[in-house]
């Protein structure tokens, strides 16, 4: 209980009164469709991402930078970039009907910045697979300029029983 009050007091100093009021109303996000079991996290981070292309070992998406994922100067937060690397890197190795793989390691090079309303191209490629271990590379590029915003290396592990 004491730690909770400490967090609240820190948030009160960092957030304006209006921001604090809005944050206090966030208990959950209603389902988008019946049977939807998505979490608040998935709605918050992935809302607006569009899958453009999927083929074995490749996933390509478009994403317009929303204000909710930016800092006070309007730049895409590094944490949001890390989340996109994690989600899109995991999507390229996902096999329907099997449990999601677990992230083992991520290494991200933050090379440039993106601003609110910039259109990004996010491409994830499978680098290789050995046993339950998979390695991916995720590139975030500004669609208009071609500038590389970030490059992420993402390794995942999944122990999946053979269907044989």
In this structure, are residues 104 and 133 in contact, taking their beta carbons and an 8 Å threshold? yes
Give the span between the Cα atoms of 164 and 91, in whole angstroms.
Answer: 24
Any idea of the CA torsion for 61, 92, 57, 98, to the nearest 10 degrees? -140
With bands split at pLDDT 50, 70 and 90, how would you rate the model's confidence at 91?
confident
Q: Average pLDDT of 132-153?
A: 94
133 and 74 in one domain? Answer: yes
Lowest mean pLDDT among 51-60, 128-137, 152-161: 152-161
Helix, strand, or coil here: 33?
coil
Q: What is the pLDDT of residue 11?
A: 43
pLDDT reading at 1 higher than 80: no
Q: Flag whether the pTM goes above 0.85.
A: no
The answer to the question of residue 116 being in a domain is: yes
103 and 124 in one domain? Answer: yes
Residue 139 maps to which CATH number?
3.10.129.10
The answer to the question of residue 162 being in a domain is: no
Lowest mean pLDDT among 38-42, 82-86, 130-134: 38-42
pLDDT reading at 161 higher than 80: no
Give the span between the Cα atoms of 117 and 14, in whole angstroms.
Answer: 25
Q: Average pLDDT of 147-155?
A: 95
52 and 7 in one domain? Answer: no
With bands split at pLDDT 50, 70 and 90, how would you rate the model's confidence at 118?
very high
Closest CA to 122 of 57, 68, 51: 51
Lowest mean pLDDT among 12-16, 19-23, 54-58: 12-16
pLDDT reading at 27 higher than 60: no
Of the chain, the end-to-end C-alpha distance in Å amounts to 51
8: exposed, middle or buried (C-beta count within 10 Å: 0-12, 13-18, 19+)?
exposed
Q: What is the pLDDT of residue 47?
A: 81
97 and 130 in one domain? Answer: yes
Range of the domain at 48: 31-157
67 and 24 in one domain? Answer: no
Q: Average pLDDT of 7-32?
A: 53
Domain total for the chain? 2
């Amino acid at each position: 209980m004491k730690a909770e009050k400490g967090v609240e007091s820190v948030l009160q100093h960092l957030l304006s009164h209006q921001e604090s009021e809005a944050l206090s109303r966030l208990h959950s996000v209603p389902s988008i469709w019946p049977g939807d079991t998505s979490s608040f996290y998935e709605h918050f981070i992935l809302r607006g991402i569009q899958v453009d292309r999927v083929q074995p070992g490749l996933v390509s998406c478009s994403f317009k930078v929303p204000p909710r994922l930016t800092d006070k100067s309007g730049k895409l937060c590094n944490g949001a970039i890390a989340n996109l690397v994690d989600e899109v890197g995991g999507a390229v190795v996902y096999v329907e009907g099997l449990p999601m793989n677990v992230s083992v390691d991520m290494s991200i090079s933050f090379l440039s910045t993106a601003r609110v309303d910039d259109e990004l191209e996010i491409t994830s490629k499978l680098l290789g697979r050995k046993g339950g271990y998979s390695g991916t590379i995720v590139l975030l590029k500004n669609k208009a300029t071609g500038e590389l915003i970030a490059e992420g290396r993402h390794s995942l592990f999944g122990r999946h029983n053979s269907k044989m």
